[in-house]
Amino acid sequence: MGGVKRRFKIIDFRVRPPLVPFKILFDLKLRRLTWENKFNILPSLATAPSMYKVGEKDGLNLLKKEMDEASVDYVVAPGRNVSVGPKSVDPTGTQGMVVSDQTLVDLHKSFDNRLFGLHGLDLSLPTDQLVSGLEKAVTKHGLLGAVMEPGYFPAPEGGTLTADHKKLYPLYETVIKLDVLLMHQSGIYAGPDIGANDWAPLDRVMQAFPKLKVVLAHGGYPRVLDALALVTKHPNLYISPDIYCHFPGGRTYVEAMSMLPDQFIYASAYPLGPIRESAELALKFPLSDDVMEKYMFGNAARLLKVTAAKARSQMA
């Protein structure tokens, strides 16, 4: 594999490929470049050729090339089953985000088995369908877990769905039974407002299901300290702050990595951050080699059951 040679293997834990269902995110990324309050940080300002080829075969080919240039071994692509996103992401309320299990299976093959898919949960479905859908995704399609985005869904009794809603408890039992991971969405676009990042419900879930393996995507931002407190409290909760490491207050994540080295997971959040620039910035964090290896590869590999022997070596 070509590209820059590195001392560390890399798993990029959150990559949304340039597919039509993800176009809304690419539009948001490029639209932000024109805003007066655009962040003066490299991941937000930098682009990559693949970002301009959404829905085209060239887009996927360019993404593979960008992975090679960044010496990224694997990427994790979260599926999605969201009919309408928050207004801040989908102003017209017309762009759904549905990425099927079969799409992820096809991507796994086309990316030479370097892309792992996670089943996108449609939390509007009855509980029994949620459970059966997850079981099929894992046992039939070989997906390695699921993604939940409760901030995009209403609760059955009204209001926004939260992680501790009892309709979701059989789903958590199934995740544990299948021995896979659950990615929980967070961040400034995780719901109708930043209230979707209240982490007391997730705290209650982790107490009820201590064996549940959860990855908090986007790091729980902007409730950074609350999220870090939960990681301290629950050993099976992992935090992946991705691009939010570079947002206001995000350096707190980097400071905490050496304190909780076994629970941080690297991601670019592509397209919000380009593959190469995101990896280069992360590798400059002031971390020991042991902590860096766990952050960039080891912790994710353990969750995904990817052994170092199977990974594509990037050593010089």
Evaluate whether residue 275 is within a structural domain.
yes
Helix, coil or strand: residue 314: coil
Range of the domain at 231: 11-304
Amino acid, single-letter form, for residue 106: D
Instruction: Report how far apart, in Å, the C-alpha atoms of 213 and of each of 89, 186, 239 are.
Output: 28, 16, 11
Please say whether the dihedral angle defined by the alpha carbons of residues 123, 129, 131 and 136, taken in this order, is positive or negative: negative
Pick the residue with more confidence: 86 or 114?
A: 114
Both structure tokens of 158: 């009204």
- Mean pLDDT (the chain) is 91
**What percent of the chain has a predicted confidence (pLDDT) above 70?**
90
Read off the pLDDT of residues 207-235 as tens digits, 9 standing for 90 and up: 999 999 999 999 999 999 999 999 999 99
Phi and psi dihedrals of 307, rounded to 5?
A: -85, 155
In a domain? residue 209? yes
Question: Structure tokens of 110?
Answer: 């086309």
Question: In the prediction, which pLDDT does 87 show?
Answer: 60
Q: How confident is the model at residue 86 (pLDDT cuts 50, 70, 90)?
A: low
Residue 127, amino acid: T
Question: Can you point out the beta strands (E) in 206-295?
Answer: 214-217, 237-240
Q: Quick check: is 5 in a domain?
A: no
Residue 316 inside a domain? The answer is no
Residue matched to tokens 């459970």 = 131
Residue 4: predicted pLDDT: 46
pTM of the model: 0.92
What confidence tens digit (pLDDT) does each residue in 27-77 have? Answer: 988 988 887 666 677 788 899 999 999 999 999 999 999 999 999 999 999
Looking at the domain assignment, is residue 311 inside a domain?
Answer: no
pLDDT score of 13 more than 70: yes
pLDDT value of residue 33: 86
Sheet holding 74-78, edge to edge: 11-12, 74-78, 115-120, 145-148, 181-184, 214-217, 237-240
Indicate which CATH number applies to the domain containing 127: 3.20.20.140
Query: Would 85 be classed as within a structural domain?
Result: yes
What token pair was written down for 260? 């909780």
